[in-house]
Amino acid sequence: MKKKHFFTVAVTVIMLFSLATNHAFAWSYSNYNYGSYVPKSGTGTATTYYDSRNFLQTRIDFKFDSYNVSSIISYNKGNGTGGSCPGYNAYVTLDQTAIPDGSSLKISAWEVLTNLPNPKVDIEDNNLWGADDESEVVALGTVVADKAYYMTTKWLDNRGGKSTDSGRIQAQFAMSKKGILDYNNCTQSSTVQHTFTYGDNQGKVASIQPQITKSLKAVASTTVPVSNTTSTTNSQSDSQVITEYKAIEPTEDGITKYKSKQKEITKKLKSNKKINDIAVTVTFAEPLSFDEVKTITEKYNVNIEELEARSIDSNGDRITHAIKGLNKSLSQDGSNFIGYTSLQGYVSSENIFGLESEEKIFLVDASGDNNVTELEKDNFAVPLTWYLEDLNPEKHLKKKTFNLK
């Protein structure tokens, strides 16, 4: 059974209360022994707050130096030397993974914000806790030296004060093979860069300590190389899907060709048999408001897994917001909010053509659905948002005035 998240409506204005804690701690290395792509220094900050529900927020701030960037670009070109990366285009990755002290996880990844270029964001339950224990960002764009980057994860906080409600959140860098499948780390830092430790009670963070010993993250499934976690059949399908995505040229002609290929896939899915839950990535033709997204998804009965939005910070950087499910809109009264840009979710074969024909939809990409890949698990393609913004920033990055209700 595929996991579903239903789109519901709540208030549209964010009100923050009780910024109860704000703890920070930094890591610092004297060399690159933990990975040539790992920043030698960085800072982790944890905050708890209330926004109609309790949240725990963890943020990692860092800068790559010229040595890091040279190594990362080498990996990008398929010349990386670590793990199973050689010969594959690999991209720098940062994940934050929650590990409970007890037998159940009392926090759940809810939203990710980052200014990394062209990020592929995953928020998922990797270890069957019944809560999303991992948030991960893969930077598919080109990183630069000495630029202040960050990744923030907001965790829904359901801690109830029991002695087993505590745990830790580990932040760790890796390199990942470029693709749309999960479990795609091909090499990983030999140590956890930063550990946030949280206590049993809402509104409190127990302590924050750097972790510079052997990685403790074996519980998280993405620490295991792809070659050890997939069968031969899956690896072959994985390779085909990755090759298809790598074939996209970030030009108008390249995007048009890719779009045509994906329309052929949806035609086949429609003609084969009735399918109730096709995994799709929907790239919007322009930034939309919450109400516009709601109208379209309700019309075609789309069950949302993840929704992305765009804002621009004071430095002019593009900020990607990835929200797991969505049961309230982001605040749209800030001057930096652009709009919602894409979604991942499920739609039936009966509704996929209607969704595809909507004027406000640029592409419905079903290339990660298991009926296409023949894998056991559904996956989601990377949205084309970043490419569209690069090609036409006036259309895709200009702030719009939405008619809010």
Q: Could you tell me which of 174, 42, 40, 60 has the C-alpha nearest to residue 112?
A: 60
Give the chain as a 3 state SS string. Answer: CCCCCCCCCCCCCCCCEEEEEEEEEEEECCCCCCCCCCCCEEEEEEEEEECCCEEEEEEEEECCCHHHHHHHHHHHCCCCCCCCCCCCCEEEEEEEEEEECCCCCCEEEEEEEECCCCEEEEEECCCCCCCCCEEEEEECCCCCCCCCEEEEEEEEECCCCCCCCCEEEEEEEEEEECCCCCCCEEEECCECCEEEEECCCCCCCCEEECCCCECCHHHCHHHCCHHHCCCHHHHHHHHHHHHHHHCCCCCHHHHHHHHHHHHHHHHHHHHHCCCCCEEEEEEEEEEECHHHHHHHHHHCCCEEEEEEEEEECCCCCEEEEEEECCCCCCCCCCCCEEEEEEEEEEECCCCHHHHHHCCCEEEEECCCCHHHHCCCCCCCCCCCHHHHHHHCHHHHCCCCCCCCC
Residue 335 pLDDT: 55
Residue 373 pLDDT: 84
Residue 244 pLDDT: 58
In b/e form, how buried is each residue of 155-167, taking b as 16+ CB within 10 angstroms? Answer: bbbebeeeeebbb
Residue 315 pLDDT: 87
Rounded distance, CA 89 to CA 86, Å? 8
Mean pLDDT by 10 residues, the chain (405 residues): 38 36 76 97 92 90 98 95 92 96 93 95 87 94 96 95 94 82 79 93 70 35 30 38 62 92 88 86 94 94 94 91 75 70 95 94 93 86 93 86 46
According to DSSP, the residues that pair with 120 across neighbouring strands are: 138
CA 374 → CA 176, 267, 324, 397, distances in Å? 22, 17, 25, 37
Rounded distance, CA 16 to CA 10, Å? 16
Rounded distance, CA 195 to CA 209, Å? 6
